[in-house]
């Protein structure tokens, strides 16, 4: 192969490659000229046919042609890629200068929002948050809270049992028993929030799993007046300046016991379907800690007293967000949760 043949080969390569409009044809031309069995490789193999200065000149020309063809191939690759991008943009009507679509921002679940607000309010009153297991023992869930085996409250709660001694806790009050057991007769002031489980018929306002919040304070000299002051403060912090009333109730672990109601926000006390025409909505149950519970954990009822209160966070969430049903909150329907994320709860 002579130098003149190399020059003709180079011109032919540049013309063929520059005229290409298809990426597959470009790849075929690259293999033809620069591949392992391509024309440039064959030209390099023929260098040994030359001698002396002619050999050096021929090798230099082969290298120049290889570099030129490589450059033309690279330029054609960039040109075809740019043309392909331009075609896609024209076909898809995409404006690459527009800002990208940002991922949707996540948010706390409405029940969690209400829970955090409640814990924050109680934290300002000096209550420390505590936690306990959801799989609880029969003792801490019932016996230690003055609910013996023959007590009707056990039937009312219709429990999920894991085995003969363990069950899914039916109330967060079980953590109250654990805290008192660990306190060894010292004053305690604690708030507890979490999931609880009851084998209930699922309907618009009841679920087998829901969230509760409990608070309790045991110390020397506490009276019902302290309970009333804390309960009314909590009600007004959560529901605003609405009327509050206390009514007699019965709980096995408190005596005396009361229910705390607030004026229905939807009807202003006039009566509607949300409050069952009563004009009031029950928000929590409360009472003075039963002397049997105090004695169970080594407290002298003549020296120590205490009060406890609690409410269903799940039901409170429906009240705060103005929902008539509880079940949709737990279905995980993103459409509802996005609407609630943009709506302020009464307590926030």
Please state the residue numbers annotated as binding site. 255
Q: What residues are designated binding site for Mg(2+)?
A: 255
**How far is 164 from 251, CA to CA, in rounded Å?**
25
**How far is 260 from 311, CA to CA, in rounded Å?**
10
**How far is 253 from 286, CA to CA, in rounded Å?**
10
> Are the C-beta atoms of 274 and 158 separated by less than 8 Å?
no
Beta bridge partners of 210: 196
Helix (H, G, I), strand (E, B) or coil at 49: helix
Q: How far is CA 1 from CA 4, 5, 61, in A?
A: 8, 6, 12
Token pair, residue 78, equals 């960039």
Q: Which residues contact 16 (CB under 8 A, 6 or more apart)?
A: 29
> Are the C-beta atoms of 225 and 313 separated by less than 8 Å?
no
């Amino acid at each position: 192969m002579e130098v003149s043949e190399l020059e003709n080969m180079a011109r032919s390569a540049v013309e063929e490659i520059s005229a290409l409009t298809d990426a597959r044809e470009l790849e075929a031309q690259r293999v033809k000229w620069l591949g392992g069995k391509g024309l440039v490789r064959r030209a390099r193999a023929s260098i040994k046919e030359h001698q002396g200065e002619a050999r050096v000149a021929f090798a230099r020309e082969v290298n120049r042609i290889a570099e030129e063809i490589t450059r033309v191939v690279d330029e054609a690759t960039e040109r075809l890629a740019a043309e392909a991008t331009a075609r896609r943009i024209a076909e898809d009507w995409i404006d690459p200068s527009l800002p990208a679509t940002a991922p949707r921002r996540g948010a706390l679940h409405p029940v969690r929002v209400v829970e955090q607000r409640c814990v924050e309010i109680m934290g300002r009153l000096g209550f420390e948050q505590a936690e306990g297991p959801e799989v609880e023992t029969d003792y801490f869930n019932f016996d230690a809270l003055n609910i013996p085996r023959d007590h009707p409250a056990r039937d009312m709660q219709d429990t999920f049992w894991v085995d003969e001694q363990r069950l899914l806790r039916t109330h967060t009050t079980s953590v109250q028993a654990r805290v008192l057991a660990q306190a060894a007769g010292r004053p305690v002031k604690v708030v507890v929030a979490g999931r609880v489980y009851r084998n209930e018929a699922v309907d618009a306002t009841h679920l087998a799993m829901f969230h509760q919040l409990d608070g309790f304070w045991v110390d020397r000299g506490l009276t019902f007046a302290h309970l009333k002051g804390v309960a009314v403060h909590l009600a007004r912090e959560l529901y605003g300046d609405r009327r509050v009333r206390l009514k007699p109730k019965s709980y096995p672990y408190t005596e005396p016991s009361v229910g705390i109601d607030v004026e229905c926000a939807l009807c202003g006390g006039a009566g509607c379907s949300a409050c069952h025409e009563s004009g009031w909505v029950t928000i929590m149950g409360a009472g003075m800690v039963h002397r049997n519970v105090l004695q169970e954990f080594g407290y002298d009822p003549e020296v120590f007293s205490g009060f406890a209160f609690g409410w269903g966070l799940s039901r409170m969430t429906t009240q705060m967000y103005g929902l008539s049903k509880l079940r949709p909150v737990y279905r995980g329907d993103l459409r509802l949760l996005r609407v609630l994320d943009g709506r302020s709860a009464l307590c926030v």
